[in-house]
Amino acid sequence: MTISVASQKGGVGKTTTSIALAAGLGRQGKHVLLIDIDSQANSSKVLLENYPKISKDDTIYTTVLERNPLPVHPTRIPGVDLVPSHILLSNTDIELTTAKDHREARLKTQLDQMAGNYDHVIIDCPPTLSWLTINAFTASDKVLVVVSPGYFELDSINQINKTLHEVKEYFNPSLELLGYLFTMSDSTINSRTSLQILRQSYTSQVLNTIIPRNTDIRDAHFNKTDIFDYNPNALSAKAYQTLLEEISL
């Protein structure tokens, strides 16, 4: 199963969720491929020690721009391989917009060649609705939409839903919403109200698991590792474990 972790809003916890899902599954003995398709390359920088030395030909750039096989790198997390991203991907949209061949399926075409080697594929999407996101959705079975508290954060759901439906209609009829994951939850009125509105608006699609705001997550990233390795007893680690059970991957 291939899952895109997405949101049009920046900084809501997409990368954190992608790393936590991949690491949690890897630690359960599953073989996982994490694909970083965001030019900020945040997952790549956390999980690959030698990231600064990796050339663009060894990243997803070569797949999306030059139609080459996905370059897979082992990570320190057991069972987890990574296809890193590259800053030059930020210019990709101009090139893909003018491309005439299957510009939406460049990732899917290459992933189909190797998806059978893995139990799960997780795609960490950029905070934009670009051809990169369309490539991720075209290659996916499901989309996990990450939502954090706030008016703009809730508002961004409309856009991501529109993209999901458009990709389903034009490129990938079997694409489905896995659910909305509420992250960075805390005891503020803003957070509680946001969750209430989310549940009222999208009742059955909101996942039961809530990820709390928890500084251990930031510390784990500073230490270039995942939350299960950094502090398996952290509230956020327990919440991500519950999420894995809820979505039964």
Ligand X SMILES: Nc1ncnc2c1ncn2[C@@H]1O[C@H](COP(=O)(O)OP(=O)(O)OP(=O)(O)O)[C@@H](O)[C@H]1O
In the complex, which residues of this chain contact ligand X (CB under 6 A)?
10-16, 38, 40, 42, 127, 183-184, 211, 213-214, 217-218, 221, 236
Contacted by 236, from Mg ion, ligand X, none: CB < 5 to 8 Å by type: ligand X
Smallest separation (angstroms) from Mg ion to the CB of 125: 8
- Residue nearer to ligand X on the CB measure, 103 or 221: 221
Q: Is 18 in the site for Mg ion (CB under 5 A)?
A: no
State the Cα–Cα distance between residues 187 and 193, nearest whole angstrom. 10
Smallest separation (angstroms) from ligand X to the CB of 215: 6
**Window of 14-22, 27-35, 192-200, 213-221 that interacts with Mg ion by CB under 5 A:** 14-22
**Window of 13-21, 147-155, 196-204, 227-235 that interacts with Mg ion by CB under 5 A:** 13-21
Smallest separation (angstroms) from ligand X to the CB of 222: 8
Q: State how far Cα 59 lies from the chain centre.
A: 16
The residue length of the chain stands at 249
Joined tokens for residue 129: 């609705």
State the Cα–Cα distance between residues 184 and 210, nearest whole angstrom. 8
Query: What's at 205, amino acid-wise?
Result: Q
- Considering only residues 89-128, where is the footprint of Mg ion by CB under 5 A? none
Smallest separation (angstroms) from ligand X to the CB of 24: 14
State the Cα–Cα distance between residues 136 and 105, nearest whole angstrom. 9
- Residue nearer to ligand X on the CB measure, 40 or 193: 40
Whose tokens are 């549940």? That residue is 199
Nearest CA to 54 out of 33, 71, 37, 34 is that of 71
Nearest CA to 43 out of 136, 126, 114 is that of 126
Q: Which is it for the CA torsion 187, 223, 121, 109, positive or negative?
A: positive
Q: Is 15 in the site for Mg ion (CB under 5 A)?
A: yes
Residue 130 exposure: Cα atoms within 13 Å on the Cβ side? 18
**Window of 41-49, 79-87, 108-116, 232-240 that interacts with Mg ion by CB under 5 A:** 41-49
- Residue nearer to ligand X on the CB measure, 59 or 214: 214
- Residue nearer to ligand X on the CB measure, 68 or 163: 163
State the Cα–Cα distance between residues 143 and 122, nearest whole angstrom. 10
Candidates 42, 92, 191, 225; binder of Mg ion (CB under 5 A) is 42
List the beta strands (DSSP E) in the chain: 2-6, 32-36, 73-74, 80-83, 120-124, 142-147, 176-185, 206-212
Candidates 14, 103, 106, 142; binder of Mg ion (CB under 5 A) is 14
- Residue nearer to ligand X on the CB measure, 42 or 44: 42
Residues forming contacts to Mg ion in the complex (CB under 5 A) are: 14-15, 42
